[in-house]
Amino acid sequence: MLNLLYDESNVPEIDTLRAKNYDNIDTSEIPDLKRVGVLTSGGDAPGMNAAIRSIVRTGINSGLEIFGVTRGYHGLWKGEMSQINTRDVSETLQRGGTFLMTARSKTFMTKEGVIKGARMMEVYGLDALVVIGGDGSYKGARALARVGVPVIGIPGTIDNDIASTEYTIGYDTAMNTAMECIDKLRDTASSHERCSVIEVMGRHAGYIALNVGIATGAECLLIPEVPYDFDKDVIRVILDGRNKGKRHYIVIVAEGAGSATDIAAKIEEATGIEARPTILGHLQRGGSPTLRDRTMATLMSAHAIECIKEKRLNRLVVLKDGKITDVDIEEGLEMQKTINQKELDKFYLLG
């Protein structure tokens, strides 16, 4: 049973709290956990269904009861949950999206909403919650942990921007989807001697753009982490290519670094070269997950169940040095990672 530290009559300032760290706690003092909830939150990512499937099957085969929470934290505070069995997750491994669905929740972003979510877990007799999502989802899990709900986080976001882990579920599929689209756009750009400006996802992180740029041999790359000089890093590169006999060009821009439509217009005005924008958008979120996303989702989720059975709680499952492990949720959310100029320079050495 949950041991909630607060209720509706005693709502704390959650930002001033810190989640319980289980590293130095005698596990014999922690009651056995029997009922576990699982939800997906934030943007969907290919491989989330594989993660849910693994939670359900590994959990049940480990003696747990698993409850699926629909529509993320919005469904949590509203009590939208039910028990899931192994048959319920059959034929989900290869499906994109998340069959538990996901939704934004303004209510849960408030301290009162967090307490409502925690209380609803108490109503259903849940002992812990597994959250599959990105950085924002992790912050929601941390808020629950701070009021007494044991949580485990599994990284699920196509942006690969969670600092505590080297890899996030959905990243490989999104990159492959973008790469295949750009390869097709290169064919038509070559036929018409055009410049294709392709906008990929990445509001705050340019990992998709960087790796897809390398994989497709793009001429220019713009990401939010590294400032750029438009004349030097885009116009001059295209003109130098034209003067060497090049007749088509690929410019890749992460959505947080600019608008493909605006950039295409500026290129055409400055160079006289026809430039066409393409925004891949949510196309990158869909599709059947790749082998890597299926296996990573499955193994990360199995590790999450291992954490619960061994009573290592309030943890984030991570890939570190190529191995799946876990870190304390407070420590994990304090970590930072970014793309630096040196990493971007490697892209331009290939030009």
Q: How far apart are CA 222 and CA 219, in angstroms?
A: 10
Single-letter code of the amino acid located at 252: I
7 in catalytic set? no
Nearest to 198 by CA among 211, 179, 225: 179
Nearest to 81 by CA among 38, 51, 138: 38
Burial 77-91 (b: 16+ CB within 10 A, else e): bbebbeebeeeebee
Q: How far apart are CA 174 and CA 284, in angstroms?
A: 5
Q: How far apart are CA 206 and CA 227, in angstroms?
A: 12
Contacts with 229 (C-beta within 8 Å, 6 or more apart), sequence order:
none
Q: How many CB atoms lie within 10 A of CB 110?
A: 15
CB 318 within 8 A of CB 332: yes
CB 160 within 8 A of CB 319: no
Element (H or E) spanning 11, and its range?
A: none
18 half-sphere exposure, CB direction, 13 A CA radius: 7
Which three-class secondary structure state does DSSP give residue 255? helix
Per-residue HEC secondary structure of 2-39 comes to CCCCCECCECCCHHHCCCCCCCCCCHHHCCCCCEEEEE
Residue in 159, 293, 326, 328 annotated catalytic = 159
Name the pairing type of β-strands 220-222 and 195-200. unpaired
The catalytic residue positions are 159
